[in-house]
Amino acid sequence: MSIAAIEPISIGRIDAPEHASPIHATESPAFMKVLGSEVQELNESLNGADAAARSLAAGDGIPVHDVMIAMEHAHLKLQFAVEVRNRLLDAYQNLTNMQL
């Protein structure tokens, strides 16, 4: 019984497919702008849920289910933001621990 040796894999230059268009920095918004707009949207959602809860407590006649929907929406957005932050921190730590 003979076992054949494994051939080494040669890695050449990998070209993008012909139909793919190159991405330029001017075509997409900056990462910080996108992140800032998402944080602003999260803040508005949290403020809206807080305002709905305050108006319910004040007896302004807002339905309870609307308050609960606003609070759950804000809670889900906050959980998502925290998870994104955790993933970004984990990626940063992996990069800083990488030996060159």
pLDDT tens for each residue of 26-42: 666 788 898 899 999 99
User: How many domains, in total, are found in the chain?
Assistant: 1
The residue type found at 38 is E
| Residue at 14 is within a domain | no
The residue with greater pLDDT, 47 or 18, is 47
CA distance 82 to 89: 10
pTM for this entry: 0.64
Q: Does pLDDT of 80 surpass 70?
A: yes
The residue with greater pLDDT, 57 or 8, is 57
Q: What's the mean pLDDT in 9-17? A: 60
| Residue at 65 is within a domain | yes
| Residue at 84 is within a domain | yes
| Residue at 89 is within a domain | yes
Q: Does pLDDT of 15 surpass 80?
A: no
| Residue at 61 is within a domain | yes
| Residue at 19 is within a domain | no
| Residue at 67 is within a domain | yes
Q: How many CB atoms lie within 10 A of CB 49?
A: 21
Share of the chain above pLDDT 70, in %: 79
* Structural domain span for residue 57: 31-94
